[in-house]
Amino acid sequence: GAVVSQHPSRVICKSGTSVKIECRSLDFQATTMFWYRQFPKKSLMLMATSNEGSKATYEQGVEKDKFLINHASLTLSTLTVTSAHPEDSSFYICSAKPSGRGFGEQFFGPGTRLTVL
Amino acid sequence: GEDVEQSLFLSVREGDSSVINCTYTDSSSTYLYWYKQEPGAGLQLLTYIFSNMDMKQDQRLTVLLNKKDKHLSLRIADTQTGDSAIYFCAESTPSGSARQLTFGSGTQLTVLP
Tell me if chain B has a CB within 8 Å of the CB of A98: no
Give the closest-approach CA distance of A114 to chain B in angstroms. 13
Given pLDDT bands bounded at 50, 70 and 90, which one contains residue B91?
confident
SS3 state of residue B82:
helix
Please tell me which of the candidates B42, B99, B104 has its beta carbon nearest to residue A110.
Answer: B42
pLDDT tens-digit series, residues A18-45: 999 999 999 899 888 999 998 877 788 8
Which residue ranges of chain A lie beneath pLDDT 50?
none
A49: chain B residues, CB-CB within 8 Å: 98, 100
* CA separation for the pair B19, B27 (Å, rounded): 23
